[in-house]
Amino acid sequence: MQASLPPASSGLNKSTIIAGLLLAIGLGALGLLLKQAIIEYKLLDRSVTVKGLAENEYPADVVIWPIQFTAANNNLDELYKQLDAQNTQVVNFLTKQHINPKEITLTAPTITDKLAQQYGGNQPVTLRYTGSQTITVYSNDIDKVRNAMPLLTELGKMGIVFTQSNYDTQVEYIFSRLNDVKPDMIEESTTNARLVANKFAKDSQSRLGKIKKATQGQFSINNRDKNTPYIKRVRVVSTIEYYLAD
């Protein structure tokens, strides 16, 4: 006669089986959740980095015009008088060109004694003393100053010797309104970056999401070319990283 299992043992097996099934279902659901989370994380991590350029030209708004001239004499006192007279001629010329006297600055003259120079050698000295004088025009009226520059030759015909080849005598044009144009240029560079990012997203069959990270490059100001230093080219590049989604 075959013996039958006790009822208690049968109930225990059923409970074990049910518990195992529930655990398997739970693990499976957890696995699906983890898989979905990983997939979503990877989708969230997809991104594209683009650069947007903004470049515009603006007229300079400040001009610095150094006017340097020299004189020579064997008599030091006469040399100073000569430089003073030439100072007056230059200043009168500038005011005649409607340049405000407040925009004109005079520096002390530089005097050189050739006999006192350490490396003068044994060369004969015709004129012992030489002096140089610099008068600087600092103005916001670019056109007025530029119109006066070629007329300076009138004083050269009167015997004033101008120095134009030195680095210190180069005319300088400055664009000082960068803060005024920054907002519009940043907006333009950001817009251009988004256009590029949208094109990339479309080509890759994706959708462009929010900005993940953005970096504004430094603004650069350069002359448009060597012949028009009074026209400035202002440039900025923005680097932006966007999220991508399917």
The structural domains of the chain, ordered by start, are 44-59+177-245 (3.30.110.170), 62-174 (3.30.70)
- For the ranges 120-129, 158-167, 192-201, which has the lowest average pLDDT? 120-129
Asked if residue 66 has pLDDT above 60, the reply is yes
Nearest to 34 by CA among 42, 243, 246: 42
What tokens does 35 get?
């898989």
- For the ranges 61-65, 101-105, 197-201, which has the lowest average pLDDT? 197-201
More confident site: 153 or 10: 153
Local confidence band at 121 (pLDDT 50, 70, 90 cut-offs): low
Asked if residue 10 has pLDDT above 60, the reply is no
Specify the amino acid at residue 197. A
Q: Which of 19-23, 32-36, 151-155 reaches the highest mean pLDDT?
A: 151-155
Are the beta carbons of 103 and 139 closer than 8 angstroms?
A: yes
Residue with tokens 């210190």: 168
Asked if residue 193 has pLDDT above 60, the reply is yes
Inter-CA distances, 93 with 10, 67, 87, 135, 151, Å: 120, 12, 10, 12, 9
Local confidence band at 122 (pLDDT 50, 70, 90 cut-offs): low
Separation between Cα atoms, residue 245 and residue 45, nearest integer Å:
9
The sign of the CA dihedral 47, 48, 49, 53 is negative
String of DSSP letters for 124-163: --SSSEEEEEEEEEEES-HHHHHHHGGGGHHHHTTT-EEE
Asked if residue 110 has pLDDT above 90, the reply is yes
Asked if residue 59 has pLDDT above 90, the reply is yes
- For the ranges 120-124, 197-201, 213-217, which has the lowest average pLDDT? 120-124
pLDDT digits (tens, 9 = 90+) for 228-239: 999 999 999 999
Separation between Cα atoms, residue 57 and residue 34, nearest integer Å:
55
Predicted structure pTM score = 0.74
Local confidence band at 183 (pLDDT 50, 70, 90 cut-offs): very high
Are the beta carbons of 175 and 234 closer than 8 angstroms?
A: yes
pLDDT number for residue 2 = 47
Asked if residue 45 has pLDDT above 90, the reply is no
Asked if residue 168 has pLDDT above 50, the reply is yes
Residue 201 phi, psi (nearest 5): -60, -40
Nearest to 210 by CA among 8, 70, 62, 44: 44
